[in-house]
A and B are shown apart, each in its own frame.
Chain A
Amino acid sequence: MVSQLERPTRAETSAVGERHTRADAVDKVTGRAAYAGDIRLPRMLHAAMVKSPAGKGKIRSIDPSAALAMPGVRAVITADDLRRPPISCRDIRYGVVVRDRPILAEGRVTFVGEPVAAVVADDRATARLAATRVVVEIEEEEGAFDLDTALQPNSPLVHPEPFEVEDAVYKTPIPLTYGESNTGLTYEYGDGDVESALASAARVYESTYRFPAIYQYAMEPYCVVASVEANALTVWSSAQHPSQVARDLARLFDLPLSRVQVIVPYVGGGFGSKSFTHVEPLTVALAKAVGRPVRLELDVSEAMTISRRHNALATVRAGVDESGNIVAYDMDIAYDTGAYTLLGPYVIIKGAFRGLGAYSFPNYRVRARLVFTNTSPAGSMRAVGGPQAAFALESMLDEIAQDLGQSPFEFRCRMVAERGEEFRPGRTPMDGDLARDLETLETMIGERPEPTDSKLVGVGVSMGITDPGASPVSTAFAKLAADGSLTVTIGSTEIGQGVRTVISQIAADTLGVPFESVSVTTTDTRYGPYDASTGASRSTTMSGLAVHRACGSIRQRLVALAASEWGVDPDEVAISDGVVECARTGDGAGVGELIGRHFGQNGGNFIGVGEVTAHEFPTTPPFWEVAAAVAQVSVDPDTGQVATRRYYSVANVGKVVNPLLMEGQEEGAITQGLGHSLFEELEWSEGHPLNNSMIEYRVPRTRDVPPEMHAHFTEDGDGPGPFGLKGAGEGGIVPVGGAIANAVADAIGARVRELPLTPEKVWQAMRAASSTNEVSE
């Protein structure tokens, strides 16, 4: 599969595997780290969006006169201004898979909060106040405001007309359909004959599960600063994927990529919310309109409307034979993508895969549907499509195991794919030992705990698998200076995951220089290299591999130089700790010294370039990201309140580059998962958001995380990245919903099939179960 990949040349590592303090730690604990929102330019003005007050309808009129009359207001623009000078857009729509999202709504609106106009003023407060004074008249229409309505055969259509397909990183594998129903795409994946197997099964189970719409809540709301020069753009953005933003801006504003500079300083969290292009085109349009730099900083209620996780509705049927083995597995899952497509087609394709888990069912089928509604668009969030489908799958497995009187651990152990098994035809064989992971978890959780107070106690196990490493295209530059210091430039952004630290560790060990001598620069599309994205657990593996190759080429040059100077064989030359040496002859020189000698003066540098191409991965995914987890909860029988007491997880990561960062990624993923399992849900009524502030939208706080939380990593050195590493960071969130739901079901003896498990739902389930028991008794 990846045999042609260059393997690490050095067996020993000194930086890789160490708990190095983050390279950005000092900047971040002192408040010096600059984020997009901290950028200030001379003559900079501030923008605010005028947002649709209706979920669906025709725009009758937009009257900016009251706003324009306010002191300090410089301009108000609408969609009509976009194609005209001075903005002169070549196109006004963009999107990662389908170009459906307009820079400003044109003619009609499709969700509450959609930008219909924008204001530029001297300061942000004035701009935001002026935005509320732009009068927007909408002729409201009946909308498809929720998934159930949108799925009805006679539902109003969100999009009656088709859109252009984007021809970039994510190409839609199947064209979306418009005008017939709100289902834009149906993706079926499977093997075997599910219907026959279900028909001949000894017992068939069927249940329906719901997963909520989730706001990623990156704590830094999206912010963009745009500056327009003659035939060039400079944009500072919180974007996760700057190379994709640059591409969209170049197309929309008719500029060559070489003249579009997207700079991404530190990013205040992403989790997928900052994937793809959001308000960059609008900010650039405003900067062109006023001829001055413009800053657009969203607030939380606005950030909620640019991206969210798809809510989902899944129906699972499973057929079991006489011996209690699952012989047929069938899932129908609808994902609500809101008003625009964003990454939707990939979310459902990933979801279909992820909804099968790591299990070898003899016959299986998933039908995943992408459904438009008149709500804010759903994009990507940590392990797209996975938590929704895995919650349904893992709940169903426990329902069956419980009915058959089997241990949920053993039930799963019997079904998981074995290492080397091609458990999905044509895809990468299983690259982990999952039964071993489950046994590890069973040992960690120990005996079923007895209740210690008046609470009910339950334990739940769950698994998750993702096919990560999307778009395996990365390039990297490495520059070794004459003082022996190394600068690495990558296109992947520092969103908190620690990519600059991990990349420094990989670079240090590849070249043979100390960790402290490596620095990784700010992401910049004009001066830096291309990277497809920062997501899908790919940076350490894909950017890491490109960096490994860039540093490897510098290493080769140094070795060749030294070998020829000392008259020795290159195989006899080693580099470590910044020193090039030949042990046999005793020759030695610092890496920087060799550069000086090569150039003939004490200056110059060696530049290495590394690439990773999609051709190298004909079989996908590049690796499987598998996580297994066990949770112990307590439930208050009087209120239905759930508290997570213990949570243990196991992840197959190949090799841990930095345990401190790896634990942080995993603990963070688990905590976000606890959010969607217990508290979080974006809600609307007739298209109007009900909880679009952090007062009403509750995310986990210190007291919500389990007092005992431990992430265990198995390191088998079996990944495609340098040093045998695999990506990580997303897998941990996938099993959480199943683990918590199964633990709660274990505690209360009843099942809730809808996340989040609010006290109300849990209490009602307990109440229903006790009344059923009373009747049967």
Chain B
Amino acid sequence: MNQISIEFELNGAPVSHDVYPNRLLLDVIRDDFGLTGAKRSCDVQVCGACTVLLDGKPVSACTTLAIEMDGRSVTTIEGVEPAPGELHPLQRAFAEAGALQCGFCTPGFILTSLELVDDGVVDREEIVERLDGNICRCTGYHKIIDAVATASAMASDRKEG
């Protein structure tokens, strides 16, 4: 098996990298790039702990081949902070609402929820529906839903203001 050269944008920076075609996106970003915020849990695309954004859309890195990054942009949790030491409002909302405990699912939840915040979703039922692909075993979800609703409301206020 030969390695394939791919080029992509990783958290805003252009990258070229050689990968074997059978390697998973999750392994490559964790092992080759040291971006360990994406977590391995279920391995079968049902828990959302390994979520990254591919061209802005959430995907499960555990079931995506690394070569699919070629020519695209990838955002991991490490790329969510607007500036070093500055949290994204959604990250701040998660921290303040108590939306995390062990923290293993947290990067995945935040990456999935970014789109909801951008869309200004504050309706709890819609948040419940759209977070159905992420599992949290610690919190009971209520505080996660609260955090997303808070961050969405703040984002909508900013847009309107």
Contacts and interface: CB of A to CB of B under 8 A. Distances in A.
Contacts of B44: 693-695
Given A29-B110, A220-B41, A495 B102 contact: yes
Nearest to A661: B98
A626 B78 CA distance: 42
Interface in A302-355: none
A265 to B, nearest CB: 11
Nearest to A495: B102
A372 interface: no
Interface in A666-703: 667-668, 670-672, 693-695, 699-703
Contact of B47 (A123, A219, A672): A219
Contacts of A216: 137
A409 interface: no
Contact of A219 (B23, B30, B104, B145): B104
A125 B107 contact: no
Nearest to A124: B27
B157 interface: no
Contacts of A693: 42-44
Interface of A: 19, 21-22, 24-35, 37-38, 40, 123-125, 216-221, 266-271, 297, 299-300, 495-498, 660-661, 663-664, 667-668, 670-672, 693-695, 699-703, 705, 707, 709
Interface stretch (B2-10, B66-74, B89-97): B89-97
Nearest to A267: B102
B135 A699 contact: yes
Interface of B: 23, 27, 30-31, 34-44, 46-47, 49, 76-78, 80-81, 87, 91-92, 94-96, 98, 100-107, 110, 124, 127-129, 131-132, 134-145
Contact of A668 (B39, B110, B140): B140
B43 A300 contact: yes
B141 A671 contact: yes
Given A29-B106, A496-B102, A670-B140, 5 more contacts: A31-B78, A35-B104, A37-B36, A667-B142, A694-B41
A496 B81 contact: no
A25 B95 contact: yes
Contacts of A699: 135, 137
Contacts of B40: 37, 221, 297
Nearest to A708: B142
**Ranked 8 nearest A-B pairs via Cβ:** A31-B37, A496-B102, A28-B103, A667-B140, A268-B104, A31-B77, A496-B101, A25-B95
A664 B101 contact: yes
Nearest to B111: A31
Nearest to B90: A29
Given A269-B137, A694-B44, A31 B98 contact: no
B102 A702 contact: no
B76 A219 contact: no
B100 A25 contact: yes
A21 B96 contact: yes
A701 B129 CA distance: 10
Most buried by B among A266, A267, A269, A700: A269
B88 to A, nearest CB: 8
Contact of A30 (B91, B141, B142): B91
A35 B37 CA distance: 10
B41 A703 contact: no
Contacts of B92: 29
Most buried by B among A25, A31, A33: A31
Given A26-B95, A498-B101, A31 B129 contact: no
Given A25-B94, A266-B102, A31 B124 contact: no
Contacts of B124: 707
B36 A38 contact: yes
A218 B101 CA distance: 12
26 contacts: A22-B98, A22-B100, A26-B87, A30-B37, A31-B76, A123-B31, A216-B137, A218-B137, A219-B49, A219-B102, A219-B135, A268-B104, A269-B102, A299-B43, A300-B41, A496-B138, A498-B101, A664-B140, A667-B142, A668-B139, A694-B42, A694-B135, A702-B127, A702-B141, A703-B129, A705-B141
A219 B41 contact: yes
Contacts of B42: 300, 693-694
Most buried by B among A19, A30, A219, A498: A219
A268 B49 CA distance: 11
Contact of B101 (A40, A123, A668, A670): A668
A428 B47 CA distance: 43
A123 B27 CA distance: 11
B132 A703 contact: yes
Given A21-B95, A22-B95, A38-B36, A29 B100 contact: yes
Most buried by B among A22, A25, A26, A671: A25
Contacts of B47: 219, 694
Nearest to B77: A31
A663 B98 CA distance: 9
A675 B46 CA distance: 16
B51 to A, nearest CB: 11
A703 B132 CA distance: 7
Contact of B137 (A27, A28, A271, A297): A271
A18 to B, nearest CB: 12
A314 B124 CA distance: 40
Contact of A32 (B37, B94, B135, B143): B37
Given A695-B46, A702-B128, A703-B129, A28 B100 contact: yes
Contacts of B101: 269, 496-498, 664, 668
B128 A664 contact: no
B21 to A, nearest CB: 13
Nearest to A694: B42
Given A25-B95, A29-B95, A693-B42, A217 B100 contact: no
Most buried by A among B43, B47, B102: B102
Given A220-B102, A667-B142, A703 B91 contact: no
B94 A29 contact: yes
Contacts of B96: 21, 25
A274 to B, nearest CB: 11
A131 B84 CA distance: 43
Given A269-B104, A661-B98, A668-B101, A30 B80 contact: yes
Contacts of A663: 98, 143
Given A266-B102, A703-B132, A125 B27 contact: yes
A44 to B, nearest CB: 11
Contacts of A19: 98
A29 B137 contact: no
A664 B104 contact: no
B103 A266 contact: yes
Contacts of A40: 34
Nearest to B92: A29
Contact of B103 (A24, A123, A299, A695): A24
B119 to A, nearest CB: 17
